[in-house]
Amino acid sequence: MRVALTGHRVLGRKFSPGALERALCGLIAEGADTFYCGMALGFDSLCCEYLLKLRREHPVKVVACIPCADQASRYSPRAKAKYDALLAACDERIILHEKYENGCMFERNRCMVDNCDVLLAYLESERGGTYYTVNYAKKKGKRIVFL
């Protein structure tokens, strides 16, 4: 089973790291073996970290879905170092564009949904990329697990 991940860059007060870990473990117990991560700051990075830890005990594959090769070019030095380390540890990389292009983030999100069986979503706001991705997954008839 293939799982795509989507969530906000800023994690709100309602966000629970424990609930995220339980959701990931639950999906793995259901047979999830491939996880598509958009590699953005916030939710994506945290998912990637947890999955890389869980990979020590479970046979899961982490696929970095990168909208553009220069995705982290505007990150702070600390965030960029973390991004580079996470990216290096992923099992596979899908890079959609060499440089940022208008709409490439949404293209990345559609790519992840198109290739998944289940979408794991942390959605607190009815706007932005996460909201768009959840609605796209609904239109595609994908199962959605909300945190």
Of how many residues is the chain composed?
Answer: 147
Query: Residue 113 gets which letter from DSSP?
Result: H
What gap in Å lies between CA 40 and CA 106, rounded to an integer? 12
What SS3 state is found at 61?
strand
Element (H, E) at 34: strand 34-37
Residue 141, number of CB atoms within 10 A of its CB: 6
**Can you give the pTM of this predicted structure?**
0.95
Q: Are strands 92-95 and 61-66 parallel, antiparallel or unpaired?
A: parallel
Q: pLDDT tens, 60-107?
A: 999 999 999 999 999 999 999 999 999 999 999 999 999 999 999 999
What SS3 state is found at 9?
coil
Q: pLDDT tens, 5-38?
A: 999 988 888 899 999 999 999 999 999 999 999 9
Are 66 and 96 in contact by the 8 Å Cβ rule? The answer is yes
